[in-house]
Structure 1
Amino acid sequence: MTDPYQQTGMVSSHTYPCGGCGARVQFAPGTNVLKCPYCGFQQQITAGDRQIREYALAELGTLPRKPVGSIGAYVLACPRCAARTETNESASPCQFCGTPLVVDPNATGQIVPEAVLPFRLDHNGVRGALGSWISSRWFAPNALKKVSTAESTKGTYLPHWTFDSQTTSYYTGARGEHYYVTESYTDSDGNRQTRQVRHTRWYHVSGQVSRFFDDVLVPASVVVPPQKLDQLAPWPLPEAQPYQPQYLAGYHSLRYDIEPETSLEEAKARMAQVIQQDCSNDIGGDEQRVESVNTNHADMTFKLMLLPVWIACYVYAGKNWQVLINGVTGEVIGDRPYSKGKIALAVVLALLVVAVLVYFFFINGHHTTTGTTTKHR
Structure 2
Amino acid sequence: MNYQPQQPYQQPQSQPYPQQPYQPYQPYQQPPPQQPYQQQPYQQQPQQPAPQQSYACPSCGSTAEYAPGTNSLRCPHCRFEQPIAPVNREVREHAWEELASLPAKPRGAGGQILQCPGCGASNETNALSGRCRFCATPMVASAATDRIVPEGLVPFRVDKRDVHDNLRKWARSRWFAPNSLKKVNSAESLDGTYVPHWTYDAATASSYSGERGEEYTVGSGNNKETKVRWHSVQGTVQRFFDDVLVPGAGHLPADRLEALEPWPLKQALPYQEAYLAGFRTLRYDVEPEAGFQCAQQKMAKVIEKDVKKDIGGDRQRVHAVNTNYGAVTYKLLLLPVWFASYVYNGKQWQIMVNAETGKITGDRPYSPWKIALAVALVTVLVTLAVVLGRHHHH
1:210 Cα deviation after fit: 0.9
* Amino acid paired to 2:84: I
CA contact (8 A) 2:46 2:113 kept: no
1:170 and 2:207 correspond: yes
1:11 and 2:53 correspond: no
Which of 79, 83, 95 in structure 2 is aligned with 1:56?
95
* Amino acid paired to 2:288: P
1:115 and 2:143 correspond: no
The answer for the alignment partner of 1:30 in structure 2 is: 69
The answer for the alignment partner of 1:81 in structure 2 is: 119
1:312 Cα deviation after fit: 0.6
The answer for the alignment partner of 2:84 in structure 1 is: 45
CA contact (8 A) 2:167 2:185 kept: no
Seen in structure 2, the aligned counterparts of structure 1 residues 176 and 360 have a Cα distance that, compared at 3 Å, is: closer
CA distance in 2, matches of 1:324, 1:122: 14
The answer for the alignment partner of 2:136 in structure 1 is: 98
CA distance in 1, matches of 2:113, 2:348: 29
CA distance in 2, matches of 1:238, 1:52: 9
1:39 Cα deviation after fit: 2.4
Seen in structure 2, the aligned counterparts of structure 1 residues 5 and 215 have a Cα distance that, compared at 3 Å, is: farther
CA contact (8 A) 1:165 1:301 kept: yes
CA distance in 2, matches of 1:352, 1:196: 37
Seen in structure 2, the aligned counterparts of structure 1 residues 351 and 157 have a Cα distance that, compared at 3 Å, is: same
Deviations 1:276-325 (A, max 9, x none): 11111111122111111111111111111111111111112222111111
Q: How does 1:297-336 map to 2 (within 5 A)?
A: 297-336=325-364
Please list every run of 5 or more consecutive structure 1 residues that lacks an aligned counterpart in the other structure: 185-192, 370-377
* Partner SS, residue 130 of structure 1: helix
The answer for the alignment partner of 1:188 in structure 2 is: none
Q: How does 1:215-226 map to 2 (within 5 A)?
A: 215-226=243-254
Seen in structure 2, the aligned counterparts of structure 1 residues 5 and 327 have a Cα distance that, compared at 3 Å, is: farther
CA distance in 2, matches of 1:85, 1:151: 24
* Partner SS, residue 262 of structure 1: helix
CA contact (8 A) 1:23 1:36 kept: yes
CA contact (8 A) 1:92 1:252 kept: yes
CA distance in 2, matches of 1:359, 1:201: 44
CA contact (8 A) 1:9 1:74 kept: no
Seen in structure 2, the aligned counterparts of structure 1 residues 300 and 339 have a Cα distance that, compared at 3 Å, is: same
1:343 Cα deviation after fit: 2.5
CA contact (8 A) 1:5 1:12 kept: no
1:145 and 2:182 correspond: yes
Task: Return 21-30 or 262-271, whichever deviates more.
Answer: 21-30
Q: How does 1:185-224 map to 2 (within 5 A)?
A: 193=221, 197-224=225-252
CA distance in 2, matches of 1:39, 1:170: 63
When the two structures are superposed, what TM-score results if normalisation uses the length of structure 2? 0.82
1:326 Cα deviation after fit: 0.8
Which of 243, 256, 261 in structure 1 is aligned with 2:289?
261
The answer for the alignment partner of 2:33 in structure 1 is: none
CA contact (8 A) 1:88 1:255 kept: yes
CA distance in 2, matches of 1:216, 1:72: 32
* Partner SS, residue 125 of structure 1: helix
The answer for the alignment partner of 2:192 in structure 1 is: 155
Q: Higher RCO, 1 or 2 (CA under 8 Å, sep at least 6)?
A: 1
CA distance in 2, matches of 1:36, 1:5: 34
* Partner SS, residue 89 of structure 1: coil
1:223 Cα deviation after fit: 2.7
Seen in structure 2, the aligned counterparts of structure 1 residues 358 and 296 have a Cα distance that, compared at 3 Å, is: closer
* Amino acid paired to 1:141: P
* Amino acid paired to 1:59: E
CA distance in 2, matches of 1:163, 1:299: 10
The answer for the alignment partner of 1:374 in structure 2 is: none
1:335 Cα deviation after fit: 0.6
* Partner SS, residue 256 of structure 1: coil
CA RMSD for the aligned pairs?
A: 2.6
When the two structures are superposed, what TM-score results if normalisation uses the length of structure 1? 0.86
1:352 Cα deviation after fit: 5.1
Seen in structure 2, the aligned counterparts of structure 1 residues 147 and 129 have a Cα distance that, compared at 3 Å, is: closer
* Partner SS, residue 39 of structure 1: coil
1:24 Cα deviation after fit: 1.8
CA distance in 1, matches of 2:124, 2:243: 33
Deviations 1:348-374 (A, max 9, x none): 444555666678789x69xx98xxxxx
CA contact (8 A) 2:188 2:341 kept: no
